[in-house]
Amino acid sequence: TQTQATLDMTNISLGIAKAGIYAIIIALSGCMRGMQSGRSAAAVGEATTSAVVTAIVGIIVTDGIFAVLCDALGI
């Protein structure tokens, strides 16, 4: 099929590496904001929202870095 003809191990490996790095970003942002959270229910809700926003921004920045690197390397 066209998908098999287009994909090679470089693309698959890069996708797996990106998924792992994104998982680390999500885990670290959740842990960081959780440790900074207060003890009330409202503080936990605010920390959760902050963790989600931090993770999304981190993933967007990291994806931009990946795009620049892949373009520079010709991948």
- Domain of residue 35 covers 2-73
pLDDT at 75: 86
| pLDDT of 5 over the 90 cut | no
| pLDDT of 3 over the 90 cut | no
| pLDDT of 8 over the 90 cut | no
What's the whole-model pTM score? 0.84
Q: What is the mean pLDDT of residues 11-40?
A: 96
Q: Indicate the number of domains in the chain.
A: 1
Are the beta carbons of 11 and 40 closer than 8 angstroms?
A: no
The H or E element that residue 62 is part of is: helix 41-73
CA distance 75 to 14: 9
CA distance 61 to 29: 14
